[in-house]
Structure 1
Amino acid sequence: MEGPGPVKNERDLLYSEEEEALRAAVRDLLADQCDAPGVIARTESDTPHHLALWKTLTDGMGLAGLLVPEALGGQGATHREAAVVLEELGRAVAPVPYLTSAVVATEALLACGTDDLLRELASGTSIGVLAVALNVAPGAAHKLVRHDDGVLSGELTGIADAAVADVLLVPADDGGLYAVDATAATVTPQTSLDLTRPLATVTLDGVRGRLLGDAEPAVRRALRAGAGLLASEQFGLADRSLTETVRYLKERKQFNRPVGGFQALKHRLAQLWLESVNLRAAARNAADALATGEDADMAVTVAQAYAAPVAVHAAEEALQLHGGLGMTWEHPAHLYLKRAKADSLAYGTAGAHREALAALVDLQAP
């Protein structure tokens, strides 16, 4: 009697040739326009966002429209391609509103079917920001503004990239999601740990907005995509931290031998490598699940329950293993640590996602 045939694996998480080509193009662009000294200099200025780089990513490469159908001026790609872009942006700690505009705001508009705004975001002529605090997890309660007689009033805090937004997508207490011209709102910068993704307070004082659709499903969809693809950014950050640390420890010598040859450091690097490759698998699974719609809630919560501790660990080890050099402002290690720490709170903490995962598999939460 013949045994059962091989089980076919229908989900291929390996990078396709097209995805690798996209990665190479984005990495080359970032190497040319987004080096570490330039990013550090921007964090010291009043304009931390790299809008020239954003223009190249959108106008030159069309990457803002990856998730937008071709009929609406987008690329008609999937979350897998967007994840590759975010891996590279994470590796460079690029100060551009890609996650907030090209992913989160775009997903909210896709849920509402707002074709004209989708065209603007896909072309890069407008930057969209969902006016929900960066730390809010998918499905969690969030602050709403007051809708009264056709106008919106209220204050929203912790809004990422609001300083460069052209249109704000604002959830109101009547259950609607409204598009508001950002120039009609008062945007006040907040003190942010991660200066490459600054936060702001958005104040609306009797501002008129355009009703787009129901806020609850749109916000849930947007935050789920944001959380799922954030894991790819966190993987890129962790992988770059590990790569640069290995390179440095091979070059740095002590007692006339490379520091990386010491066994204790080898063990720490090996542990980081294991964590990093596991994070890559979780992030790829989340991106693929978002692209196919299969078990997306599960895949996103698994990825985010794992991603934040790994990214923070990798950034902390990079700073420590670079020794005194890593503690200097001129070295980019602090950029990665601050981004990793900020990302650990974005779209829900690891603990919040573990609780959500427990509910999904019908287990008692820790």
Structure 2
Amino acid sequence: MTMRFGLTEEQQELMAAVRRLVERRAGDQDLRRVIAEEPGYDDGLWRAMTEQIGVAALAVPEQYGGAGFTSLETHLVLEVLGAALTPSPLLGSGVLATQALLLAAEPGDCERLLPALAAGERVAALAWADAAGRWRLDGSDVRATGTDDRWRLSGSARLVLDGSAADVLLVVATTPAGPGLFEVAPGTAGVTRTPTPALDPTLRFATVELDDAPAAALALEARAALARLSSVAAVAVTALQVGGAQRALDDTVAHLKEREQFGRPLGSFQALKHRVADVLVSVETARSVSWAAAWAAARNAPDLGEEAARAKAWCGEAFEHAAGEMIQLHGGIGITWEHRAQLYFKRAHATAHLFGSAREHLRALAPI
């Protein structure tokens, strides 16, 4: 007996609806202009996706104002956004911050914070990475002091996705009891947010500095929740990678069909066919591995950590392969600012290191 995994009709229509909305908006908004201005994404498109489709509400339970689906549906939306390099708060707010609350916070805090995030009315950012850019399960470079409802945070967190524009800051801090999750008001005294230059201009990062900043404790023992969150984050990034790799492949094939050399389309040369075929195999395999990990995340499978590590390692290398061939097979134009190939190349290399490199995840699968 064989098992066949495929998307449902509703999931396919979800991806098609997001794709149509993105393509329609892309005709009116230039990507380079959008990423050069604050907040770094098309706010009109974000409102349309959250109000018309409910992309930020997909994985949020209905009792917290969500649609009551699973993280698999959010994963499919991220794949579509990854294909178009669409900047949005979905990864930072709709996945990282939302899942942090669902995994670690008490029901009362979820009832207070999640409805606005699910509706897209507010954007949240998760501050966790230390000075080396690592998500440590034992805490972070931020220290929490205090008792009961009187907590103060001091320290810094790097690589805070959408941290400059977020309305809500969720901070992982080290407490005497272990790693905890805290809520900090961005405009309060002792909070400084500094934009951080990134290789990929479609992703916005910030460094958050906390100097005796007041905070509300959401969870004082969050080690288990953070362990799962790190896997969820890695899986979500693979959706962006698969979408980007697929578009890189599609654009390269279209270019080889149109561009001629010696009176023949470039795509007719056997050597180039072989190179494109290799990319096709890696992209299709990456999609299968990514979907398998997303399925494990949606079901809270016991082997989620292994599936996430396997997917992040494979999909990162597949995207780098597809983007590298895109640059090579487009020739000189592929590296120019006017062509999008260089943006896919930058996205591939940036996401390869985001939430763990392939080497780190492979080491987790087979420690030596």
Q: Same fold (TM over 0.5)?
A: yes
Aligned to 1:281: 288
Q: Distance in 2 between matches of 1:116 and 1:220?
A: 24
* Residue aligned with 2:7, SS: coil
Q: Distance in 1 between matches of 2:42 and 2:29?
A: 13
- Give the % identical residues: 39
Counterpart pick for 2:315 among 295, 301, 307: 307
Aligned to 1:88: 80
Q: Is 1:279–1:310's contact at 8 Å kept on the other side of the alignment? A: yes
Aligned to 1:361: none
Q: Which amino acid aligns with 2:49?
A: L
Deviates more, 1:309-318 or 1:267-276: 309-318
Deviates more, 1:182-191 or 1:237-246: 182-191
Q: Is 2:129–2:135's contact at 8 Å kept on the other side of the alignment? A: no
Aligned to 1:123: 119
Deviates more, 1:280-289 or 1:291-300: 291-300
Aligned to 2:332: 324
Aligned to 2:248: 241
CA change 1:22–1:254 in 2 (3 A) is same
CA deviation vs aligned residue, 1:241-292 (integer Å, no higher than 9, x gap)? 0001000110011111101111111010000000000001000100111111
1:309 to partner: Cα distance: 0.9
Q: Which amino acid aligns with 1:60?
A: Q
Mark the runs of 5 or more structure 2 residues left unpaired by the alignment: none
Q: Is 1:319–1:326's contact at 8 Å kept on the other side of the alignment? A: yes
Displaced runs of 4 or more, over 6 A: none
Mark the runs of 5 or more structure 1 residues left unpaired by the alignment: 1-5, 359-363
Q: Is 1:78–1:291's contact at 8 Å kept on the other side of the alignment? A: yes
Q: Is 1:127–1:165's contact at 8 Å kept on the other side of the alignment? A: yes
Instruction: Report matched runs for 1:207-356 at 5 Å.
Output: 207-213=213-219, 214-294=221-301, 295-356=303-364
CA deviation vs aligned residue, 1:304-350 (integer Å, no higher than 9, x gap)? 12111111111111112111221221111111111111100111111
Q: Distance in 1 between matches of 2:80 and 2:27?
A: 13
Aligned to 1:3: none
Higher relative contact order by CA 8 Å / sep ≥ 6: 1 or 2? Answer: 1
Aligned to 1:168: 169
1:65 to partner: Cα distance: 1.1
Q: Does 1:177 align with 2:181?
A: yes
* Residue aligned with 1:179, SS: strand
CA deviation vs aligned residue, 1:36-64 (integer Å, no higher than 9, x gap)? 97112223345422222211121222110
1:226 to partner: Cα distance: 1.1
CA deviation vs aligned residue, 1:195-226 (integer Å, no higher than 9, x gap)? 11121110112221111113323322222111
* Residue aligned with 1:249, SS: helix
Q: Is 1:229–1:286's contact at 8 Å kept on the other side of the alignment? A: no
CA change 1:300–1:284 in 2 (3 A) is same
1:146 to partner: Cα distance: 2.0
Q: Is 1:137–1:223's contact at 8 Å kept on the other side of the alignment? A: no
Aligned to 1:204: 210
Q: Is 2:192–2:210's contact at 8 Å kept on the other side of the alignment? A: yes
Aligned-pair RMSD on alpha carbons?
1.9
Q: Which amino acid aligns with 1:127?
A: V
Deviates more, 1:239-248 or 1:79-88: 79-88
Q: Does 1:57 align with 2:54?
A: no
Counterpart pick for 1:78 among 70, 77, 94: 70
Deviates more, 1:237-246 or 1:311-320: 311-320
Count of matched residue pairs? 352
TM-score, L = length of structure 2: 0.91
1:141 to partner: Cα distance: 5.3
